[in-house]
Amino acid sequence: MSTINTLSTYDAVMAMQTLRYEMDIAEDYAWSWHCNIAMLLIDEGVGWLQANERAASFMQTAFDVDTLTRVRRTYAEMQALTKKSDSEHKARILEL
């Protein structure tokens, strides 16, 4: 029985090492995991930014991968688009 448990533990360790390696060399692979985790939280009613911060924390803890930098960049881009959209909307209203 201990042989089966040892093999299972070994397999789990190897699987985690493989995932860490793949996420380290493929930023988009890590990002896809991050996004799926964040979406689960959003589906449960957590706000976008907080869900992404929590997903980034998990990715850092579980896989030693930094996805928080990308979250911050994405958030800044979203804010810039919102401001641009708001100013364009106000300009259109003034034209009327």
Phi-psi category of residue 49: left, alpha or beta, with phi > 0 → left and psi -120 to 50 → alpha: alpha
Label residue 94 by pLDDT band (50, 70, 90): low
Q: Per residue in 35-89, pLDDT tens?
A: 999 999 999 999 999 999 999 999 999 999 999 998 988 888 888 888 776 667 6
In whole angstroms, what is the distance from residue 67 CA to residue 29 CA? 11
Six-digit token string for 66? 């930094």
Tokens in use for 1? 């029985």
User: How far is it, in rounded angstroms, from Cα 29 to Cα 21?
Assistant: 11
